[in-house]
Amino acid sequence: MMYIKSIVCFFVFILLSVIWLFFFQLTDYVPVVRIINKGEQSLVYDDSLLSPEHLDAICTIFSQYGVFYKRKENAVLITRRLYWNMDLMQNYTHKAIYLTTIKQE
């Protein structure tokens, strides 16, 4: 009986660790853009867009949509769950690019 309890506790610990890594651990924000090549679309991470203006704009967008983030000196930290959702990240990146373009005009 004690053996079964220890196995169950071990699996619960592993499950909680995976949930914590997926939902709560933070990672650097990297812009996601849509690439269209010969009619095929793909989403790719593009760190060439990172600039102080873009980071300010993405923080504004995240605040408008209630997205959890932390701002560092030259980076924005987001949850891994958001980082892996490339469609949503592309949407936020597009909005930040648009906001940066409007501010420059």
Q: Note if the pTM is more than 0.85.
A: no
Give the integer Cα–Cα distance in Å for 64 and 16: 30
The overall average pLDDT reported for the chain is 89
Q: What is the pLDDT of residues 53-70, one digit of tens each?
A: 999 999 999 999 999 999
pLDDT over 80 (residue 87)? yes
Q: What DSSP state is assigned to residue 73? A: S
Q: What is the pLDDT of residues 68-85, one digit of tens each?
A: 999 998 899 999 889 999
| Identity at 62, one-letter amino acid code | F
Residue 9 to residues 3, 23, 63, 89, Cα–Cα distance (Å): 10, 21, 39, 36
The token pair at 26 is 């933070």
Residue 12 to residues 7, 43, 99, Cα–Cα distance (Å): 9, 35, 44
Q: What is the pLDDT of residues 43-54, one digit of tens each?
A: 999 989 999 999
